[in-house]
Amino acid sequence: MSKARVLADLVAAGGELADGAIAVAEVTGAAPLASPTFTGTATAPTINASTALQIGGTAITSTAAELNKLDGVTASAAELSHITGVTSAIQTQIDTKQKEFTPNVITSNTTATKDNRYFLNGATITLTLPASPSAGDTVAISEMGGNADNIIGRNGSNIQSLAEDMTIDTAYAAFQLQYVNATVGWAISQ
């Protein structure tokens, strides 16, 4: 059958094109259009320094309902305000924090290291603080022998802004020293 005959059958009374329109079901094996025509306006999210974040032209504010418009976000503004200063995955930062000081019972002179708790069990013990400390380094100290003559050696850093060693003159004293800066040095933090 010729192509002209097939076309004539399509447009003849009762043919697929007799009504002048083509239904989707009537088209089989058609090639897709190279450049389809869209109607309407496509809107992408925009961030404008003078306005709020917008999604689909709607401004997103700090209310929980608005934040929940973001895919997967269920936090309130108050909850989100607690994450200021986060520089990497929160769990990674939590994992790097010291959970508890490592306990050490000492009976003779010892040089301390950060993130350790020292239980002084004896008289006239000198616990020397770490050399070259960084801000935030902490050493915990507990006098457990009932003595009032143990020494905390400053190791070149101030203690409570003084260039002096510290004497633990109270039996059973327990406290922490945290390094602040070169001027203050080590300060009692608890």
Q: Residue 159: which CATH number? A: 2.60.120.640
The predicted pLDDT at position 58 comes to 64
- Decide: 113 and 107 in contact? Cβ < 8 Å: no
3-class DSSP state for residue 177? Answer: strand
Per the domain annotation, does 80 fall within a domain?
Answer: no
Distances (CA, A) of 2 to 79, 85, 98: 74, 76, 86
The alpha-carbon radius of gyration of the chain (Å, integer) is 38
Per the domain annotation, does 49 fall within a domain?
Answer: no
Average pLDDT along the chain, 190 residues, taken 10 residues at a time? 64 63 60 64 61 60 54 68 72 70 95 96 96 95 94 97 96 96 94
Per the domain annotation, does 118 fall within a domain?
Answer: yes
Per the domain annotation, does 134 fall within a domain?
Answer: yes
Residues linked to residue 111 through DSSP beta bridges, in sequence order: 128
Domain that holds residue 182: 102-188
Per the domain annotation, does 69 fall within a domain?
Answer: no
Look at the chain and count its residues: 190
Cα–Cα distance for residue pair 175/169, rounded to 1 Å: 13
Q: Which helix (H) or strand (E) is 79 found in, with range? A: helix 77-80
Cα–Cα distance for residue pair 166/111, rounded to 1 Å: 14
The predicted pLDDT at position 184 comes to 97
Per the domain annotation, does 35 fall within a domain?
Answer: no
Per the domain annotation, does 152 fall within a domain?
Answer: yes
pLDDT per position as a tens digit, 14-56: 666 666 666 666 655 555 556 666 677 766 655 555 555 666 6
Which residue do the tokens 């404008």 mark? 48
Per the domain annotation, does 136 fall within a domain?
Answer: yes
Q: Which two tokens stand for residue 162?
A: 């003084």
pTM of the model: 0.51
Cα–Cα distance for residue pair 101/137, rounded to 1 Å: 12
Cα–Cα distance for residue pair 143/139, rounded to 1 Å: 13
State how many domains the chain has: 1
